A and B are shown apart, each in its own frame.
Chain A
Amino acid sequence: MTLSLILILLLPLLLFLPIFLPRNKTRFYTICATLAAAPILVLYLLNLFFPSLQLQERIGNTFFVFSAFLYANRVELSQAEMVHLSCNFFYLYSYILVYILSYIVVKLLFIGQNPAIQKPISTIRKVFDALLFFVLTYGILFFFLVDIRILFPFGDGFLSPLMNMIYRIGR
């Protein structure tokens, strides 16, 4: 069992959903996922392009208590790694919270398109819809699991070089 294997097994689950779900359902989930992912992506990109802001450290330190119970007693983790983990758990909590709130709001407002009207939809449009859903769900999950993989009891597996590009353990 490795993290790469887990990620590969999860891939078809989240890839087949937008392909086989009705269009309205896919759009609904994509809207919720977009709203949930937006704040995280903004913070992530700000941290990437403006490292002087030290956003990740500030968020990690501020929200340390909300996830410290998972790894505070792990002596092998450095302070920087714990702050990094704390920041990523904050991203997770905020994604879930915003997703739930978006779900409730969009459920009240969303109607969608009449499925009885069989308008020909271009393949490019279908691929785009599926890709967007996939990126906003599996993509977010992928990055999260890679960033916190130091907590897992198994190794990285064959995707280790990619994972190290995203986050190298020990830095």
Chain B
Amino acid sequence: MDGQLKFYLLAETGGWDCSAYAFAYRTTILQSDAYQVLSLNVLQAKKHLSTIAQDIVNQYENMKIEPKTLSEAFVLETKIEYLALHSFPEFYLNPLAIDPNYNSEVTSIGELMFDFKGREVPLNQIILDDTVSLEDKKELVDRKLDDFLGDMNNLVSISIQTVQKRAFAKENEKNSQELFSTLLGIFSFVVMQVIFFFMLVIDNPFYYASYYDPQPQYVTSYTVFMLPISILLFDVIYSLFHIHKARISEPFMYARRFLKRYQQQVYDDILNKKRDLYDYICGAINTKIILKDDIKDFSKLSSSYIDFKEVINVSSLKERKSYRILQALTYVFGTIAWIVLIISLSVFIISKAFGGRI
């Protein structure tokens, strides 16, 4: 804020209406370097599941750039500058929750920012600092690692809550409703095969005469061929849909089965990793060797237990184009197969009852 605006700010506190200047300043804020940097960095921050990263994203998305007074403009400008600074990965990355596919400018835990003597400095700088005792450094690191641990435990809690719901249940749909829909689909599939099987084994020479002597004037000449073709097509599409659904939801389904039984094991595993990280950093502090190329070494995001990223992003599964296309095709071919089945069954029953081809 330049000197003139500060003067108007002072005038505003004295009761003058300076809202016009606040409104005009909005454009300056939007075009500022800080806002441009923040807008760009937020796109990267969205990909990280750490609480700090998501907090920055939420603050950015909920920010109202409509200052009505110069005081609001001043606060807004300061907030944007603060968020812009903290939107860099060094400020929000959690080494316990790094994506295994993360590939960016931060390559070491030593580059992460820690609170040190009232300032935010990289860990490597703390390691090399001679003004603070080793014990104080270790205590500082332990406090920060507790924050990382809390953040990761929070992710686990969210995952445990997420797996309570079935993978393909809609937003407001209960598990029982989604389960009922799935079972109805399976039941429909099975009943169709059973009816077709019984139509094959129950003796009806009038119906199956059309296999060997198809006559265009008889309905059986069409149904006797259309039915197996439509059922086969539905079987193929249903199998493809089931395979695709199983493949895309497997990490979530595995996590669901695992977390239902081994929750404590997951928490213990993360705690052990935090202790390993603490020992690793303390080793660097003791020997005054800076940390390099180790940013992903302590991640538990995709661990030997479960993939938390897949769990938390489960809601995106049913939005996938391939899933929706196959689901639609299943409904279409299923409907066609059922219509042909009902017609064929009716013709079958009638031909058996009246002892002749229809």
Q: Which of A's residues lie within 8 Å of B, judged by CB?
A: 1, 6, 9, 13, 16-17, 20-22, 24-25, 70-71, 73-74, 110-117, 148, 151-154
Q: Which secondary structure characterizes the binding site on chain A?
A: loop
Q: Verify A115–B254 contact, CB threshold 8 A.
A: yes
18 A–B pairs (Cβ distance < 8 Å), ordered by A: A6-B228, A13-B235, A13-B236, A16-B243, A17-B239, A20-B247, A21-B246, A22-B250, A70-B198, A71-B203, A112-B254, A114-B305, A114-B306, A116-B302, A116-B306, A153-B200, A153-B204, A153-B211
Q: How far is the CB of B258 from chain A (nearest CB, A)?
A: 6
* A153-B205 CB under 8 A given contacts A1-B228, A21-B247, A112-B257: yes
Q: Mark B187-223, 1 if CB is under 8 A from A, else 0.
A: 0000000000010111111001001000000000000
Q: Which of B's residues lie within 8 Å of A, judged by CB?
A: 198, 200-205, 208, 211, 225, 228, 232, 235-236, 239, 243, 246-247, 250-251, 253-254, 257-258, 261, 302-307, 310
Q: Verify A25–B310 contact, CB threshold 8 A.
A: no
Q: Verify A111–B258 contact, CB threshold 8 A.
A: yes
Q: How far is the CB of A66 from chain B (nearest CB, A)?
A: 14
Q: Which residue of B lies closest to A89 (CB)?
A: B201
A-B pairs with lowest CB-CB distance, top 7 = A153-B208, A22-B250, A116-B307, A151-B201, A111-B257, A20-B243, A25-B246
Q: Verify A114–B235 contact, CB threshold 8 A.
A: no
B243 CB contacts on chain A under 8 angstroms? 16-17, 20-21
Determine which of B201, B239, B246 lies in contact with A16 in the assembled complex, contact meaning CB atoms within 8 Å: B239
Q: How far is the CB of A160 from chain B (nearest CB, A)?
A: 17
Q: How far is the CA of A136 from the CA of B347 in the complex (A)?
A: 35
Q: How far is the CA of A74 from the CA of B202 in the complex (A)?
A: 9
A154 CB contacts on chain B under 8 angstroms? 208, 211
Q: Verify A25–B306 contact, CB threshold 8 A.
A: no
Q: Which residue of A lies closest to B261 (CB)?
A: A111
Q: Which residue of A lies closest to B251 (CB)?
A: A115
Q: Which residue of B lies closest to A14 (CB)?
A: B239
Q: How far is the CA of A154 from the CA of B236 in the complex (A)?
A: 23
Determine which of B201, B204, B208, B254 lies in contact with A111 in the assembled complex, contact meaning CB atoms within 8 Å: B254
